[in-house]
Each structure stands twice: as structure tokens, then as C-alpha cells.
Structure 1
């Protein structure tokens, strides 16, 4: 069975921990998922359906500008969530 997935989700979740370590903020599940959702809404989706597509996307993700764009989106989202967290 072939599954379609947004590879960008994996990239954001993998880079998020490092970014959040640099920002003094809540890292509860709700805040982390809010940051991921906001960041993903600012980034173009990268859908893949095959292992070959995943390898291509991983190679493409190694480009410096790609990583900078993802980190910038995560940072922007983290600032918004830190200002207005949805939890008590």
C-alpha cells in the first residue's frame, strides 16, 4: 500500500526541538503542536508517495536555504505561541 505524506511535517518536527531549546518557553504537547501547525501553514507542502520521493526530498532538504526557511517558520510560530499559549 502506498501512503502519501507531507514530508515537511517530518522536517519541521525534527528541527523543532533544536529551535525550541534556544527559546525559553513551554514545551508541553499543546504548545509544540501549535508551533508545528503554524510553521507548516507558512511552509510549502512537500508531498511524497514513494521511497524514491522520500530520498529526493531528503536530498533537497539538505540545501541550506531550505533549512533556514524551516527554522525561520518555526521561530516565528514559537514567538506567536509564547505570546498567547492556549493552555492554562
Structure 2
């Protein structure tokens, strides 16, 4: 994907945390192999689903119910009040 990202990933610590964002430049890509590490994606998805199902990986969510709570969820996310995924259900 990018030389910079490759270098960062190669030098990160075990259990490093990353902020994940969409990569707008990749939206209209015609060759999926150009996207970083797609060769391991299928195994990753299968393994991750199994780990979640068996409790090997436990995840947390901050769930905000209702469109009226979008702003609160957004502010909580930006201010660090949640330490996990923020979800708004409407």
C-alpha cells in the first residue's frame, strides 16, 4: 500500500495499537492484490471469527441508542470517555 506503512508495521511492537481509518485513495482500485496483505485476509477473517466465537478474543462496545445520541457518542469518542468501539443503533 505504501512504503511508509510497510516500515511502520515492520517496526511496531508486539500488541501495538493502531488507529484504523479508511484509505480513500484505494476506493476505486481495480486490482485487489494492490491492497496491503490481501493474501492473508481470508485466513485472518476465518481465524478471527473462530477466536471471537470461542472467547479467545473478547471485545467491548460503547453502544448509543437513537439518532439523538450520535453527538454524545462522537464527543465521548473524541474526549476519550470510551476505550473501545463506539456504535450508534437507530
TM-score for both structures, normalised by structure 1: 0.30
The structure with more strand, counted as a fraction of residues:
2
Say which structure, 1 or 2, has more relative contact order (CA 8 Å, 6+ apart): 1
The structure with more helix, counted as a fraction of residues:
1
